[in-house]
Structure 1
Amino acid sequence: MVGLLCRYGIGQSEKAAVRAFGRIVSAEELADDLLERLNLDEATAAEAPIGLVLRAFCQELARVVRWDFLPGWPAALQARWSECYLAGAVAEFPFIAVETLIGLCHEHLFGERAMVHRLELDIERALVRLGWCLGGLMAATSVEHEQNFRLAAEDGDPVLGLPNRRRFLTLLAERLASLGAGRQLGLVVLNVEWGRSVDVLALDERDHLRLALSEVMRGVLRPSDILCALGDDEWAVLLPDLRHAAQVSLAGHKLVDACEALRSNSFPALRARFCAGGAAAPEQAGGPLALEQAARSALVVAKASGRPFDIYGGEIVVKAEGDAMFETEVARALESQQFQLYLQPQVALPSRRVVGAEALLRWRRSDGRHVPPPEILRVVERIGLTPLLSRWVVQQAAQILATLTAGGCDLRVSVNVVADDLNDPELPLFIRQTCDTWRISPSRLCFEITESGFVSGEAASAETLRLVRQEGGRLALDDFGTGYSSMDYLRRLPLDELKIDKSFVDRISVSESDRAIVELMVRIAHTFDLEVVAEGVESVEAEAALSLMGCDLAQGYLYAPPMPVAEFVAWWNGVEAAVPAAGC
């Protein structure tokens, strides 16, 4: 404060002049005049919350005439101005107030007299210098708040007020650098997967939900723990000064339990899954990025295993390395075209005449193990190669149809498409161009969509399907009855086929209720002029029951397993030789 006074030329004589003025005019009288001049009387100020804090600031400013030039009063004035600034006052207000105050001091000193004394001029000069000194002090306070706002915007979540990812990495590095001997730094990364009910919430409701979760997490943490917001649905907690890594597990379980309790008690209509992963340094990782990667690896394992929490360890290290190796192998397999499409025949009921086949993805790893298609698709989706795989499947299916045609087999082939495919506006054009390249009719290609795949991005999906159908392709609704809105889809989508899921077909020969459900599905499909395909037919009894119901086509191991194209052609030739099929 002394340096600031010297900068504005306020020495002992100026201080004496201010004290002299304080004996002429009281602080209360000066405050009343200032409030009246700035139109901040009590009634007017009460009309808006900011008016009350501005009024308090002006009253504090008028006490300058009592100042003993110790640091206490300027600090009080700064605190009053901080309240005003945070309430929304303009940064220029302190200068307006100071200028008005100096004008009032001039009036009290000179009134309307033409003659003034030298002492009075010295007092006025001292008050002017002091006024601008106080204005500069308030300006510095405003700048400090602006810097804090900027830092908060850059390093903090704007809704939660928590450190964001940028600040989290800085804090993580600082805590690791200051880690004491024999102590550990724990890290927990918590993720929430919401059901679709959260997608329809208004933005303020989503913010309220995130705030509530952040508060409940704070409630189970120690005062020294640091909660950070890494994303809309992800948090991280730094756990400094731990004695043992087991404390990370305790904290992780407490966080997940607290979040689930909040959801169950305060938001029972919302569905969510809370998972967390943890790690500790230096026991399990050395640097900040390595520690975060370790915690995230544990989080991935927790999600995959269905557990609420996992901590990084030997098993997780092996799994993380295995997953990374498998992802690399899948990407290379797709690039080098190691994948194959096997064909499983579809036959007409009750004649068993072969009318088509479904193309199923197959891949044998370098160790000879066959990888289940769902496992391949999960990895392909995770590493962002779904569009590439889907286009490869369409191209391979068209090539297979050309091969079948060359062998005298005029069948149709079905391929599966996923949610990402339905949101690709270029898919219909790609299908037509591919069919033109291989000189096949698009009507011999059938695209199977699942209900769960159609749920995401419904409007875009429906338009893509309409264009595929317009190009001549056939459409089938796969796994009917296992999704969300089966009946509504039958009404709104341009479908040609309906495929009954294997889970229903398996039980029709042993369960009357399942038989009744399948029979109802067949009737409904025929009402919409759809062809019905039963998947997973493995017994003569199931086939007989489906025939009686009027099911059109069947597919399953009763007829043949999925097989490579060359084997399928040979199998088909054998079937044709034994039972001639019309139309082939």
Structure 2
Amino acid sequence: MVLFNRLQTRIFAFFVLVIIAVLALSFWLSYQSNQRLEQQYVANQLEVASLVFESQYDNRNYYLAAFASTAAKDFGLKDIFIDGDNRSFLVALNNHRSRINASLAMAVSGDGTIIGQLVASQDDLGQEVVALGSEQHAPFRYQIDTEFDQISPFYLLDDKLYQIKFSPLTSGGNSVIGWVGFGFLIGDSLANSLQKLTGLNSGFMLIEQDTITNVGHSGLAIEQHDTQLVTQYIVKDQLDNDFILWKQFLGEVDNKSLHAYMFKSRSDLLASLESQWLQQVAVLLLMLPVSLLLAFWISGTITRPIKQLIGQARFIAKGNYHSNVSVDSSVELQQLASEFTSMQQAIVAREQAIEHQAFHDPLTNLANRNQLHRVCKPWIEAGSSMAICLINIRRMTEVNVTLGHVVGDEVIKEVAKRLCHINPNALACRLSGDEFVLAFKEFERSTFDAFLAMLQVQIGQHYCYKDISLHLQFTAGVSFSQPGVDIVTLLRQADTALQHAKMNKRDYQIYDANIDKNSIERFQLINELKEAIEQNQLVLYYQPKLNLAQQKITHVEALVRWIHPKRGIIPPDTFIPIAEKTMQMDALTRWVITEAMAQYHRWQTQSIDMCIAVNISAENLKDEQFCYWVINTLAEQNVPVSAMTLEITEDAVVSDPELAIKQLTLLRNNGLTLSIDDYGTGYSSLAQLKQLPVDELKIDKSFVQKLLHTEADQIIVQSTLQLAHNLGLKVVAEGIEDKETLQWLTERHCEMGQGFYLSRPLPERQFNDWLSQSAYV
């Protein structure tokens, strides 16, 4: 016992010395770390303030400059400017202002007179009020010269300061006829925005000698003490150590210097760090008595017997990993027991990790397909009603290709996070790259439409990653459990519903038996389309085009139909997408062009001189041999190039502009007439339209069908006519369904029109009969 007590005393003394040394060192390191952390935190806060301000300021400058330049190129605005209709010009100027929610819009004539000044503000109810500025019709305060667009980016008007950018209005040979500018208000709103982003009190002030004017400040009005503090820092560069201050000189405004500033009390800014430091000190002090008690307990233990360790080792070897190995003996054996415990814990951790990986997705940590089967199997066996919602995130391939897989993975993780918060009772799973599943137990079918609408709102919220804003969208397929249906069948049904929703451009689709039937029919059509082309089951219908100036039918559009031996007439909307996806579009288009050439010769024998328009797809333009085939076939069939028009959609050009322009240029150089079909519904830009070697535009029927009843459609059609004519293009309007619309287009010099008012697409014989009785021969 004497020997044991001496050993205990020595062990206890050793632990006491170690504990005191460790706590002292921990206290000193913690103090030094806290001091460095405070300095780094302050420096980071100031750097963040600078970066946030520069980003906000530069973005506003860029946005205003870009929009002013865009507005200055608006032909409509220039025409009104030149005509001198001041009221219409102000309306047009306000329309441009409202697009970017600008606070100030200005227009200056070439002689330096402000012909338009609109100031937007908010009334007591928060509604926007737009009024004429006080300088309307007054001389512009700056000198008009070639450096006009380089004037100060700030404009002080009626004690309000605006950040403004101008752009020249040009006419004819790029001669400047005036200037147009737009500005954002620099005030409390911008200061509040900066405060939200940085956490610092923010504001702007104008200084002229001893006169200080607060332009805007975040939160409540800045107190006199704070005003003096900020001014002293800005003017004399004297910094009060009790405050964190940042300043930025922005420029001169009417002989006053404009400064932006951000500040905050050092104690307020570092309050959380101070609190953490005090907590660390308290923990260190609390550890001292606890550590001493623990040291005393350890020093009093006795080494456990070797046989006890052997017995527990055999117990572990049998697979019992959930008990702690403990001995009542010396420190050496206690360490050995601890290693045994660590070993069994490592084995348990590895087994848990392996099991977790087998049933969870490594990227999102959601359940995977195995876990879905494991969880849902008892639900189905118990006869519980359940629902499977299969979710496909749209455009993930574009995100991965455009922004990289790192951003794509972040998007997938964000979607997983949102799905987990949708319904805590649902099992959220990730099946593959962009496919997720929500599995519900005891879910009411009648409430599922409302749930899907809510899901669309939750998932559809914008997601920002490193200044990249993405609008997340999904397509969903839903299936509900039925007696005798297993989880594999439910997933297949949900996938069928999902594919049906994609095909019909819906956000979601609930499975029913008819969808499977349509899928089977579609699969059969895929196999039968090649046979249909080879066995001439296709037929061309012809829709006339009226030359509005001559009031004569001079052109037709050839539209393909599939006369199926069992299913009857199959519309092109059904089988053309199949042809595009199954690499049969080339054979289909060549059949249509060949048949159109044969039709041309048949009409020639009947003294009918008609130009035939044929649609070609993006898949045709990807084949570099297609254009040569068209040119050679026209020559072989003795069909003049003037008798054939090729129509392409905007989307066909967008997919690969460089190759499409190369192919179309080859066709155009060989005399073929080219037309842009469904203009206005695609994604081509004006720059692409300018580069395209086309001869005409076809205005989509969606803009023509309700032309006389919708002012917006009239504006779009009329502006399209003007744009096309200015580019030297002819215009075809499709979708004419009444005489009044035809007359309206004729009066505005539209070259051609087609639609149900003239005739629906007709097969050859019926078309010939219609043409012989038509008043437009």
What's the TM-score once normalised by structure 1's chain length? 0.63
The answer (yes or no) to whether the contact 1:345–1:560 under 8 Å persists in 2 is yes
The answer (yes or no) to whether the contact 2:737–2:756 under 8 Å persists in 1 is yes
Query: 2:366 aligns to what?
Result: 162
**Shift of residue 168, structure 1, vs aligned partner:** 1.2
Task: Find the partner of 2:584 among 381, 384, 388.
Answer: 388
Paired letter, 2:626: F
CA–CA distance in 2 between the matches of 1:347 and 1:64? 103
Residues 521 and 282 of structure 1, relative CA distance in 2, 3 Å threshold: closer
Task: Find the partner of 2:490 among 283, 288, 291.
Answer: 291
Residues 293 and 68 of structure 1, relative CA distance in 2, 3 Å threshold: farther
Is the partner of 2:431 in helix, strand or coil? strand
The answer (yes or no) to whether the contact 1:195–1:270 under 8 Å persists in 2 is no
Report 1:95-494 matches (<5 A): 140=347, 147=354, 152=357, 156-163=360-367, 167-169=368-370, 171-172=372-373, 175-176=376-377, 179-193=380-394, 207-222=409-424, 225-240=426-441, 242=442, 246-247=443-444, 250=447, 253-254=450-451, 256-261=453-458, 263-264=460-461, 271=471, 276-283=476-483, 286-299=485-498, 311-312=510-511, 316-329=512-525, 331-337=527-533, 338-352=537-551, 354-366=553-565, 370-378=569-577, 384-385=581-582, 387-405=583-601, 408=604, 412-418=611-617, 420-421=618-619, 425=622, 427-433=623-629, 435-437=631-633, 439-440=636-637, 445-452=644-651, 454-455=653-654, 457=655, 460-471=656-667, 472=670, 473-485=672-684, 487-494=686-693
Residues 466 and 136 of structure 1, relative CA distance in 2, 3 Å threshold: same
Query: 1:119 aligns to what?
Result: none
Amino-acid identity (%):
23
Is the partner of 2:661 in helix, strand or coil? helix
| 1:562 is aligned to 2:758 | no
Give deviations 1:477-500, integer Å, cap 9, x for gaps.
Answer: 112233445534422323221112
Give deviations 1:12-59, integer Å, cap 9, x for gaps.
Answer: xxxxxxxx9999767849989xx9xxxxx978x989xxxxxxxxxxx9
| Unaligned 5+ runs, structure 1 | 1-19, 36-40, 48-58, 75-122, 580-584
Higher RCO by CA contacts (8 Å cutoff, separation 6 or greater): 1
Counting matched residue pairs gives 479
| Unaligned 5+ runs, structure 2 | 1-5, 23-27, 35-290, 313-329
Residues 332 and 510 of structure 1, relative CA distance in 2, 3 Å threshold: same
Give deviations 1:297-323, integer Å, cap 9, x for gaps.
Answer: 4445667889876654xxx21343234
CA–CA distance in 2 between the matches of 1:217 and 1:128? 46
**Shift of residue 463, structure 1, vs aligned partner:** 1.9
Paired letter, 1:524: L
Residues 341 and 25 of structure 1, relative CA distance in 2, 3 Å threshold: farther
Query: 1:526 aligns to what?
Result: 725
Is the partner of 2:488 in helix, strand or coil? helix
The answer (yes or no) to whether the contact 1:398–1:435 under 8 Å persists in 2 is no
Give deviations 1:477-535, integer Å, cap 9, x for gaps.
Answer: 11223344553442232322111223444455677775564343222112112122222
CA–CA distance in 1 between the matches of 2:758 and 2:448? 55
CA–CA distance in 2 between the matches of 1:352 and 1:125? 108
User: 1 or 2, which has the higher helix percentage?
Assistant: 1
The answer (yes or no) to whether the contact 2:589–2:616 under 8 Å persists in 1 is no
CA–CA distance in 2 between the matches of 1:254 and 1:541? 46
Moved more, 132-141 or 476-485: 132-141
The answer (yes or no) to whether the contact 1:480–1:486 under 8 Å persists in 2 is no
Residues 173 and 430 of structure 1, relative CA distance in 2, 3 Å threshold: farther
User: 1 or 2, which has the higher strand percentage?
Assistant: 2
Residues 158 and 195 of structure 1, relative CA distance in 2, 3 Å threshold: closer
| Pairwise CA RMSD | 5.4
Give deviations 1:431-471, integer Å, cap 9, x for gaps.
Answer: 3235435625777553323335544x3xx244223223314
Is the partner of 1:336 in helix, strand or coil? helix
**Shift of residue 189, structure 1, vs aligned partner:** 2.0
Is the partner of 2:573 in helix, strand or coil? helix
Paired letter, 1:416: N
The answer (yes or no) to whether the contact 1:343–1:563 under 8 Å persists in 2 is yes
The answer (yes or no) to whether the contact 1:197–1:271 under 8 Å persists in 2 is no
Residues 527 and 179 of structure 1, relative CA distance in 2, 3 Å threshold: closer
